[in-house]
Amino acid sequence: MRQVKTLGLLGTGVIGGGWAARALHFGIDVVAADVKGEMEAWIRGAVENAEGALSRLTFAPLPPKGKLSFTTDLNLMAGSVDFIQENIPEQLELKQRILAQVSRHAPRDVLIASSTSGLMPSDLQRDLQHPERLLVGHPFNPVYLLPLVELVGGKTTSADALEAAARFYRYIGMHPLKVRREVPGHLTDRLQEALWREILHMVNDGVATTGELDESIIYGPGLRWAGMGTNLIYHLAGGETGMRHMLRQFGPCLKWPWTKLEAPELTEELIDRMVEGTQEQAAGRSIRELERLRDDYLVAIQQVLRQFNLGAGATLRALEERLYEEGAANARPALEAAAVGASTPAVLRLVETQVRPEWVDYNGHMTDSRYLQVFGDATDALLRYAGVDDVYRRSGRALYTVETHVTHQAEARALEPLYVASRVLEVDAKRVRLFHALHRRRDDVQVATAEQLYLHVNSTAGKAAPMDPEVQARLAALQAAQAPLPLPREAGRLARGAH
Is the pLDDT confidence value at 118 over 90? yes
Rg (CA), the chain: 27
Q: Confidence band (pLDDT; 50, 70, 90) for 341?
A: low
Query: Region 73-99: what's the mean pLDDT?
Result: 97
> Is cis: bond before 142, omega within 30 of 0?
yes
Amino acid identity, position 38: E
Is the pLDDT confidence value at 340 over 80? no
More confident residue, 58 or 85: 85
Final residue of a domain: which of 262, 284, 306? Answer: 284
The pLDDT of residue 342 = 57
The pLDDT of residue 343 = 59
With a CB cutoff of 8 Å and minimum separation 6, the contacts of 376 are none
Q: How far from each other are the two terminal CA atoms of the chain, in whole angstroms? A: 53
Q: Are residues 78 and 168 in the same domain?
A: yes
Q: Are residues 351 and 416 in the same domain?
A: yes
Which CATH number goes with the domain that contains 258? Answer: 1.10.1040.10
- The verdict on residue 420 lying in a domain is yes
What does the DSSP 8-state code read for residue 413? B
- The verdict on residue 306 lying in a domain is no
- The verdict on residue 315 lying in a domain is no
For residues 60 and 303, what is the distance between their CA atoms, to the nearest angstrom? 13
SS3 of 156, please? coil
The pLDDT of residue 499 = 41
Computed over every residue of the chain, the mean pLDDT equals 91
Q: Are residues 216 and 151 in the same domain?
A: no
Which CATH number goes with the domain that contains 62? Answer: 3.40.50.720
Is the pLDDT confidence value at 419 over 90? yes
Q: Are residues 20 and 63 in the same domain?
A: yes
Write down the H helix ranges in 104-250.
121-124, 159-171, 188-204, 210-218, 221-237, 243-250
For residues 240 and 156, what is the distance between their CA atoms, to the nearest angstrom? 45
Task: Give yes or no for a contact between 447 and 410, defined as CB atoms under 8 angstroms apart.
Answer: yes
Q: Are residues 155 and 39 in the same domain?
A: yes
Cα-based angle 49, 54, 56 (whole degrees, multiple of 5) = 120
- The verdict on residue 318 lying in a domain is no
Q: What is the 3-state secondary structure (H, E, C) of 303-332?
A: HHHHHHCCHHHHHHHHHHHHHHHHHHHHHH
Q: Are residues 227 and 146 in the same domain?
A: no
Give 289-322 pLDDT, tens digit per residue. Answer: 888 889 999 999 999 999 999 999 999 999 998 9
State pTM to two decimals: 0.85
- The verdict on residue 299 lying in a domain is no
- The verdict on residue 129 lying in a domain is yes
Is the pLDDT confidence value at 110 over 70? yes
What sign has the CA pseudo-torsion 40, 45, 46, 50?
positive
Q: Are residues 384 and 440 in the same domain?
A: yes
Q: From the CB of residue 458, how many other CB atoms can be counted at a distance below 10 Å? A: 15
Q: Are residues 451 and 398 in the same domain?
A: yes
Residue 63 CA: distances (Å) to CA of 25, 82, 171: 8, 18, 12
- Number of domains observed in the structure of the chain: 3
- The verdict on residue 234 lying in a domain is yes
Domain that holds residue 144: 6-178
- The verdict on residue 450 lying in a domain is yes
